[in-house]
């Protein structure tokens, strides 16, 4: 099971650290807010959208990416190493 730890939560931001060991999945969820992902490890995650479309998401340390609010997906680590990243949600 994926491990999550909310590190900061205030009126502007929620910062969550995620750790996924090989085979872990973050169940289907909706992103209510814009968010940024900051990879702490290299690797590949698989995102499955609500319609079942799968996308490989390559993570590279030091290369963050942003996504809009409204994203609906599951996330899966199909690799052989742990994947760790920080997710920063813009709450206001």
Mean pLDDT computed over 43-72: 96
**Containing structural domain, residue 57:** 3-90
The per-residue pLDDT for 83 is 98
More confident residue, 1 or 59: 59
Compute CA 78 distance to the chain's CA centroid, rounded to the nearest angstrom.
Answer: 14
CATH number of the domain bearing residue 71 = 2.60.120.10
The per-residue pLDDT for 42 is 98
The per-residue pLDDT for 58 is 97
Q: How far apart are CA 72 and CA 92, in angstroms?
A: 20
The per-residue pLDDT for 53 is 96
pTM for this structure?
A: 0.94
State how many domains the chain has.
1
β-strand pairing of 72-76 with 43-49: antiparallel
Query: What pLDDT band is residue 79 in, cutting at 50, 70 and 90?
Result: very high
């Amino acid at each position: 099971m994926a491990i999550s730890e909310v590190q900061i939560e205030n009126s502007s931001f929620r910062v969550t650290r995620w750790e996924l060991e090989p085979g872990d999945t973050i169940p289907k969820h909706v992103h209510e807010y814009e968010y940024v992902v900051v990879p702490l490890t290299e690797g590949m995650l698989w995102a499955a959208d609500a319609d079942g479309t799968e996308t490989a998401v390559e993570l590279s340390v030091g290369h963050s990416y942003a996504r809009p609010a409204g994203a609906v997906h599951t996330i899966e680590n199909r690799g052989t190493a742990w994947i760790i990243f920080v997710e920063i949600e813009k709450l206001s």
